[in-house]
Amino acid sequence: MAWSPQPLVSTAWLADHLTAPDLRIIDASWYMPADNRDVRAEYDKCHIPGARFFDIDEISDAQSDLPHMAPSVEKFVSRMRALGIGDGHRVVVYDSAGIFSAARVWWLFNHFGKTDVSVLDGGLPAWIAERRDTLDFPPTLRDRHFTARRNADLVRDVTQVAASAKLRDVQIVDARAPARFEGTAPEPREGLRSGHIPGARNLFFKDLLTADGKMKDKDGLRAAFAAAGVDLDRPIVTSCGSGVTAAIINLALVVLGHSNHALYDGSWAEWGAYKDLKVATGPA
């Protein structure tokens, strides 16, 4: 499977390449509705120079009842062209949490065949902590030609995941907090059962990150996967609440050189809503 050759870049790297003509920067900040944060207003007030705002909820499949499912190729191409992102551009994605929703947009680019994309390690908090410049006005955008082709190997649907849960031919790794995974905490979305996909392993996405929101080093990542009971020599499908933090696991896997993995786009928003799908509770 083809993934980004350089999944992460540092703030120092971005600062050195900030004015490169072939670089495009994306602010992919997103939060749960319950957080009551206006990420677009936050972007308008403060963003890395040159950054375009990527609306995860809008650049999605509007025909689906599930939250921010991957859009069609045509819609993704249209939105990227409008953002001035084209063929030959190097893309760096960041968010305002450190590493959170940026991983989802990084995964989307990979899913649509553009692998020259990286996540900014530490995101906007790291950039601001280093007293680097920010702006409060957007860049001038010019429509660019953008080519995309969907890579089906990087995504799984509910039928495929149900088969894997039964056959145990791949490892399902859930990025949600342990209480949600074990079913002792309610889901933030109404109408969903509590628990996890039978046979899944729980690797809370925060266990892959340092206290300041950066990706752990390779030894730390390997230790986190081992602690969760995940075998890095086997194929993996990632999951979470709605396909956002699952991508952080995919990002960590690429950092480790693991390529045989995909993301369950519907995640628990889909599985937890289907009454005929089995649900497990308690620790893995």
Domain shared by 140 and 13, yes or no: yes
Tokens 């920010």 map to which residue? 134
Please indicate, yes or no, whether residues 70 and 107 belong to a single structural domain of this protein. yes
Pick from 7, 149, 143, 128: nearest CA to 78: 143
Q: Which of 92, 124, 150 is the last residue of a domain?
A: 150
Confirm whether 277 is domain-assigned. no
Q: Are residues 56 and 97 in the same domain?
A: yes
pLDDT at 216: 98
Q: Which of 101, 123, 150 is the last residue of a domain?
A: 150
Chosen domain end from 150, 183, 215: 150
Catalytic: 46? no
DSSP string, 96-158: SSSSSTHHHHHHHHHHTT---EEEETTHHHHHHHTT---BSSPPP-----------GGGEE-H
Q: Are residues 86 and 209 in the same domain?
A: no
Q: Residue 283 domain-assigned?
A: no
Q: Give domain status of residue 2, yes or no.
A: no
Are 196 and 189 in contact, with CB atoms under 8 Å apart? no
Answer yes or no: is 3 within a domain: no
- Same domain as 28, residue 113: yes
Residue 1 lies in a domain: no
CA distance 175 to 201: 9
Domain enclosing residue 33, as ranges: 8-150
Same domain, 229 and 104: no
CA nearest 3: which of 213, 172, 229, 238?
238
pLDDT at 1: 72
The CB density around residue 168, as the number of other CB atoms within 10 Å, is 10
Same-domain pairing of 158 and 69: no
For the chain, what is the total number of helices (H) and then of strands (E)?
10, 10
Number of domains in the chain: 2
The CA distances from residue 40 to 33, 120, 195, in Å, are: 13, 19, 33
The helix (H) or strand (E) run that includes residue 236 is strand 236-239
Q: Are residues 181 and 60 in the same domain?
A: no
- On whether residue 279 sits in a domain, the answer given is no
133, 161: one domain: no
Q: Are residues 240 and 127 in the same domain?
A: no
CATH number at residue 229: 3.40.250.10
Taking 70 as the pLDDT cut, the residues of the chain under it are none
Would you say 241 and 271 are in contact if contact means Cβ atoms under 8 Å apart? Answer: no
Is pTM, for the whole model, over 0.85?
yes
Does residue 282 sit within a domain?
no
Length of the chain: 284
User: How many angstroms separate the CA atoms of 130 and 124, rounded?
Assistant: 10
- For residues 259 and 174, membership in a common domain is answered with yes
pLDDT at residue 190, as a whole number = 87
- pLDDT at site 34: 83
- Work out the number of other CB atoms within 10 angstroms of the CB of residue 251: 28
What is the reported pLDDT for 2?
84
Q: How far is CA 116 from CA 38, 83, 112, 153, in A?
A: 29, 16, 11, 18
Among 240, 244, 249, 284, which one carries the catalytic annotation? 240
Q: State whether 123 and 225 are in the same domain.
A: no
Residue 15 placed within a domain: yes
